[in-house]
Structure 1
Amino acid sequence: MKRIVTQFFVVLVFSLTPLVSFAQEADQDVNVDELFSESQDIISENHSENKTAESDLTNAFTRDPSLQFSGSFSATAGLGVGYTQWPDLNAPLKYYDGSAGAKASTTLVMRAQPSSALYIYGDVSTSLDTTGTNPQYTWTSFTIGSLYFDYFGITNLSIRAGQFETVWGHGRIFTQSNLMSGSVSDLSLRLSMPLVLQGLSLFILVNKDYFTGGPTISEYAYAGIVDHVIGPLRITGAARYQKQEGLGTLLSLQGTILGVDVFSDVVFTYKDTVQLTSFIGGFFKEVANTRIYAEYLYNGITQNTQDYSLGLVLIHKRPFALPLDGGIKWEHTFYDNSGQISPGITWGGIPHLTIQAALPVTYGTETSRYVVSNADPGKRRILFALLATIEGKF
């Protein structure tokens, strides 16, 4: 029976995220070619606007303080139609489900640099969401996304403190190697020493969820990561400890073989026993306007069975010089032979406007991993989603 529901935006995020992330090109270029850049693959902090100390000390101490404000706005609307089960040709509307809705958000950013030794960053955002089970028709209160400062006044040492996100590991399809996945909500202190090998960073992280009672230093999270380059091979070792979580370690290797960028991430955890938590390996290759990367995941957390998965992303940008990008993302797990295939396109021929379409197909049994974890609120096996977005920066 046909149902028009107001859960559209979540549906579109589910269906279009792989293609928005990997194929979008409206006002900015796709960042797939940066997936294996040294600045992102091993460790990256959102909004990492690090400013190195200037050699001209006179200018550093005499120039006026700088303060900049910027922001962005985005408004999205669209529709999605699909089937919660494979279509029944004898009853075409039997499993049909449709949805439509809209959402908008804006982010305000502040950057301040009183001198070359001190840099301050902060951003706040608000949103309006008419979708979901509880639609909202007023703007939400502003919430802080990031708020931190960088200090460079000590030779060969930089200090960052505040609320910011840290990302470890190379995986973009599978992110189990990111031991810092919850850092976006932590209060963090980072000490970076760029001349120790190819870079050493130490972290202290605090979050109310870490504490079983009152705050204690023993329940803080402590982490560190170090890089070293040997010939064409980049080696990264990292560790994170928190009393409830135990100790997690990451060993990453990255290099180039016959013009193909390759990587591997190995994660061990130490709590009651030593366990191989995950292994991720992958490659990236770009030829002209075509980009491809693939990842393999071994999930050691699953008990009493072998849990392997594969992921593949293929992108072709601007065919025939048209303002169009096309791509496909495929994920499959051999654990229960379920997965999802998501082809889609993005058109950006008009300033500040993009039109996106995707056709994700989820396969597997009713109790299989990808069917159960299907992010579509309607749990549609087949979904066609059409999305129009107006956005701009100021």
Structure 2
Amino acid sequence: MKTSSLAMWALFDQAVVSVTRFLIAIMIGKYGSESELGLYSVGFGLLIVITTGQESLLTTPYTFFVSRMKEARQRSYAANTLTATFMYLLLAMIVVLGAMLFTWLFRTQSNFLPILSVLLVITPVALLREFFRRWLFAHMRIPLAAGLDLVFSGALLTGLFALTRFSEVTAVNAFLVSAGASLVVVVVAAVQFRGDFETKKSRFGLDTYRNLRFGRWTAGASLLSACLMYFSHWYLALKHGESVAGLFAACMTIVLLANPFLLGISSFLAPRAAREFANHGKVGVRRLVGIFLVIVATVLALFSLVMFQIGDQLLGLLFNAGFQGHPMAIGILSLAMLGLGINYTVACGLRAIVLPQHDMYASVIGLGSTVILTLVVQPSETESMAICFAIGVWMMAAYRLAMFMHLVRPSAQAALAN
């Protein structure tokens, strides 16, 4: 299949994933309650952190190394990475059990216990589903990956629709439906692709070490970035209750309408920037990133302007009138999306010139800024929490942009070459 066709399939797949997540949040908020949406955002954030660790430590390195191997070796490498995934999900379940024990012993937010309990159910199948999805992407079988995501999306949304008919839309039930949909995909993938895996235990240690060694920088950056995206939900739920967290999650859902654009730009720019560096060095990367920065900033600035004008009306239309009354929070969060757009664009440039450690440093600055500011200000409503989140995003963007401009300046050529 042509590269352009694969790119279109990849964008289609990302659209399916983004739209599914968007519709889940809408259905829980609209047919459940603010509290249920808050609980769902807390649990979903934890699940995202867990799957991000798997992606960074296992499937991303697998994608990088597998293309260099012969077919027989690819089968054993896939089997060993799958075995490592089972070990990772066991570790993740132990961590969740520890969190449940802590919550039960210290009576901390007892409402979280059902969510943590259901995470024990969904985590194994969610990690296995994500493994098969990334495995298909690594072997450029993107249409099949999109097909599995369509099966998952269809089963999940059908289940949620059934919950709305019986007025049983809760965070726990939504996770249980998601677990069932994930199980369907895992069973289909295991049956369909079992011949592509061949266990060779003698290479397990070497393959796992290779994956972990390659993924250590990206794991740190990705995990910290995921925590930045969901820290606000966790803080509000712990400090001020699930309803406040649900309102914040609803506002965030509205501005995440820009997410497909951001992910599409990143998917296109990352390989393009790598080719520019190979062909024209840092001058080519600087020119390419500069062009995309103008495009991204223009589109997201217009998006932010629209959100300031009609974001609150969208909130009431997509959820219900009880969610309205937070136009400033939506506007501030839309400015944070502009900052995320700059982050994603510049990060592609930094990775192209083979300096991924700056992603890690930027993520530390971003999360650290938001956490420190939150602890000092102690926000109690969506507007002040949105400000803390946006400042963290923009601090992260400022560091990335400053480092990129420093590293691609003409006088840095000799240093970069060395």
Judge same fold: TM > 0.5, yes or no.
no
Q: Please identify which structure carries the higher helix content.
A: 2
**TM-score normalised by length of structure 2:** 0.26
Q: Which protein shows a greater Rg?
A: 1
Q: Please identify which structure carries the higher strand content.
A: 1
